[in-house]
Amino acid sequence: MKFRHLLIAVALIAPFLLRDYTLNNELKYISIAEEALRDGTWFSFYNHGEAYADKPPLYLWIVMLSKLLFGSYQMWFIALASVLPVAGILAIMGRWVREEIPSFDPKAADVMLATTGMFLGSALVLRMDMLMCLFIVLAIYTFWRLYRGTARKCHHWLLPVWIFLATFTKGPVGFMMPVLVIAVFLAVKGEIKTFGRYMGLRQWGLLIGLCAAWWSLVYIEGGAEYINNLLFHQTIGRGIDSFHHKRPWWYYIAHIPQSFAPWVFLLVGVLAVGAWRKLVRTDLERLFMVAIVATFIMLSLFSSKLDIYLVPIYPFVVYLAMLWLPQFEQTKWAKWAAGFAPAVFVLLLPAAVVADVCDLIPIEYDSLAWGYVALGALFVASCVSLWQLWRGDVQRSIVWCGSGLLAMIALATPAIPQFNRQMGVGDISAKAMEVAEVKGIKNFAFYRFRSGQNMDVYLGQPCEPIYDVEQLDSLDCLPHHSILFIGWKEPQRDSLFATWLEGREQTVVGNRSFTIVGRRKIRLKPLKLKEGAQVQMQPVKLQADTTK
């Protein structure tokens, strides 16, 4: 691992030191881990009593380990499972290519990969995708060493171990991608009969044995219903007719521009022209191309799709493009494509100044001082990048531009806390608990925003979901007060709720608010009679209620 890999890791981990957990995913993992520690489960997981068989245990164990080591969930520690795999992937890919092409300089490829669209996004959130990507890269690299005859005896056993760990991190894709890439590569080479040389009986026996041990422990702990959920509902169900993130087959094609920004024009251009000119000449290039195409097609055929699911192909996309770039870097189209990112980044600082002066920034903030410092660093690096491009050095231009983006991420870290109230729910939870302590309130609820139940991580007790106005009325009539959390879009989405909310005092924190409900007094309206009218009293027959 090179020093630049550690610098990249430091730049990426900096934001985790001061930011809050996001509600939808990160806080959910904390809540699931807390429930598992409380219930003493290690292989079957639940989110507020509902089975959570979506993900295997490895990543959740890392989250739980934070609590066991530090007594609390430390974001920087959990973030290591996203950031350190980035450094590992860069080290492996650079070493891999240089073993075959000693003249290859991986600096530009390292910086480009670390700053490419969803790969960068995956490194900046608490998710298991980057960890799975590391194990997949290790599996395919191990196969390559076996194929080239440079492997040691232990690599025959490491190949199924890496595949298992990829599966144990995220699920079926961790198994299918390396096996598919190996099979397709050997088929393209006309050597499919040698597949057993790499994944023979011993390898399959170890892989199946590890999976069988895992599934047996899941069955012992969670029962038949949970194991059925894990093996069928979350695999076959999501693949064929997904109940989450169902997308058309062309979803990934349409999302290429945003997923591979800001290098999309250069990456797509180099790979498209290279494929058209049939530049796939070496086995290494062939393996990288197979990894890209086979995985892209496989994931496009699955019903469930998210941009982040493509993360395992990013290392192969970037390094194959950088292998071919020297053949195009003096062409005008390659220079224009490489210049897109720094040209856009140069405009960010003046755009921020204009937005600040004209009061166009929609988010409340205390100070943009560190933001200007960060954008200033990006501005300077982008100017140098454009100058390098004008001199004809495309790869050095990429290094300057990407380094400027990483420096911006690190330098903007001190500005993050003032935006936590929009990003997470830590601040509003603290304010609500302060009000609850003063007023003696012990009950919390939320109205129809996603993952509100996971606020129990901050509140230390359940947060009840409320789905409609009838439930709100019932909550309002209880003999005790409750704090009701409200998402900022809910009054605009639900006119009945907006009417119900009228006249109630709200405490706003960031993009959410809360109000106090309960102990509503039911006042009977006086009966208005016409002048001269008389009320006749009718006897009422009472009947005992025998139902229970």
Query: What are 15-27's pLDDT values in tens digits?
Result: 999 999 998 889 9
Say yes or no to pLDDT of 522 above 50.
Answer: no
pLDDT at position 10: 95
73-82 pLDDT, tens per residue? 999 999 999 9
Q: How far is CA 524 from CA 159, 502, 521, 527, in A?
A: 75, 21, 10, 9
Instruction: State the pLDDT at residue 398.
Output: 97
Selection from 110, 83, 80 nearest residue 2 by Cα: 110
What is the pLDDT averaged over residues 274-300? 96
Rounded to two decimals, the pTM is 0.91
Which ranges of 124-171 does DSSP label H, i.e. alpha helix? 129-148, 153-170
Q: How far is it, in rounded angstroms, from Cα 387 to Cα 117?
A: 24
The average confidence (pLDDT) of the chain is: 91
pLDDT at 523 over 80: no
Q: Pick from 138, 128, 132, 129: which is nearest to 92 by CA?
A: 138
What does the pLDDT read at residue 546?
38
The residue type found at 189 is K
pLDDT at 541: 39
List Cβ neighbours of 115 (8 Å cut-off, separation of 6 or more). Answer: 262, 263, 402, 405, 406
Residue-wise pLDDT tens digits, 376-399: 999 999 999 999 999 999 999 999
Q: What is the DSSP string of 405-446?
A: HHHHHHHTGGGGGGGHHHH-SHHHHHHHHHHHHHHT---EEE
Residue 521's pLDDT band, with cuts at 50, 70 and 90, is low
Q: Is the pLDDT of residue 340 over 50?
A: yes
Contact 217, 168 (CB under 8 A): no
Name the residue type at position 480: H
Q: Can you give the three-state secondary structure of 286-332, one letter per residue?
A: HHHHHHHHHHHHHHHHCCECCHHHHHHHHHHHHHHHHHHHHHCCCCH
> Closest Cα to residue 11, out of 381, 292, 294?
381
Q: Average pLDDT in the 104-122 region?
A: 96
- Percentage above 90 pLDDT, the chain: 81
Q: With pLDDT > 70 as the criterion, what percentage of the chain qualifies?
A: 93
Reported as a pLDDT band with limits 50, 70 and 90, residue 503 is: confident
Token pair recorded at residue 210: 């590890």
Q: Which of 123, 116, 51 is nearest to 87 (CA)?
A: 123
Average pLDDT of the segment spanning 469-486 = 93
Band (544; pLDDT cuts 50, 70, 90): very low
* pLDDT above 70 for 215: yes
User: What's the pLDDT band for 366 if we cut at 50, 70, 90?
Assistant: confident
State the pLDDT at residue 488: 83
How high is the pLDDT of residue 362?
79
For the chain, which residues make up each domain, given as ranges?
3-245, 332-421, 425-517
For β-strands 464-466 and 482-487, DSSP reports them as unpaired
* Most confident among 203-217, 218-232, 476-490 (mean pLDDT): 203-217
What pLDDT score does 471 carry? 93
Higher pLDDT pick, 450 / 328:
328
Q: How far is CA 342 from CA 112, 137, 321, 418, in A?
A: 12, 29, 19, 28
- pLDDT of residue 525 exceeding 50, the answer is no
Contact (Cβ atoms closer than 8 angstroms) between residue 59 and residue 79: no
Token pair belonging to 408 = 């911006």
What is the Cα 490 distance to its own chain's centre? 24
Question: What would the mean pLDDT of 314-339 be, rounded to a whole number?
Answer: 96
Which has more confidence, 366 or 546? 366
Q: What's the confidence (pLDDT) of residue 431?
A: 95
3-state helix vs strand vs coil in the chain, percent to 5: 65, 5, 30
- DSSP-derived letter for residue 229 is I
Residue bearing tokens 């996001």:
22
What residues are paired with 516 via a beta bridge?
Answer: 483
Greatest alpha-carbon pair distance for the chain in Å reads 109
Burial degree of 318 (CB within 10 A; 0-12, 13-18, 19+): buried
**According to the model, what pLDDT value does residue 236 have?**
66
| pLDDT at 149 (0 to 100) | 94
The span from the CA of 453 to the CA of 27, in Å, is 10
pLDDT at 237 over 80: no
Average pLDDT over residues 357-376: 89
Q: Residue 275 contacts by C-beta under 8 Å, 6 or more apart in sequence?
A: 289
pLDDT at 205: 97
Task: Give the least confident one: 1-5, 85-89, 109-113.
Answer: 1-5
243 pLDDT exceeds 90? no
217-228: pLDDT as tens digits = 999 999 999 998
So what's the pLDDT on residue 245?
65
CA separation, residue 297 to residues 211, 218, 253, 336 (Å): 26, 32, 10, 29
Give me the half-sphere count of Cα atoms (radius 13 Å) on the Cβ side of residue 446: 22
* Sole residue written with tokens 């000119």: 277
Cα 434 to Cα 417: distance, rounded to the nearest angstrom: 20
**CA distances for 484 relative to 437, 447, 454, 459, 498, angstroms:** 15, 7, 14, 13, 14
Q: What 3-state DSSP class applies to 199? A: coil
* pLDDT in the model for residue 543: 40
Q: What contacts 93, CB < 8 A, 6 or more positions away?
A: 106, 109, 113, 137, 315, 319
Is pLDDT of 531 > 70? Answer: no
452 pLDDT above the threshold of 50? yes
Task: Say if residue 153's pLDDT is above 60.
Answer: yes
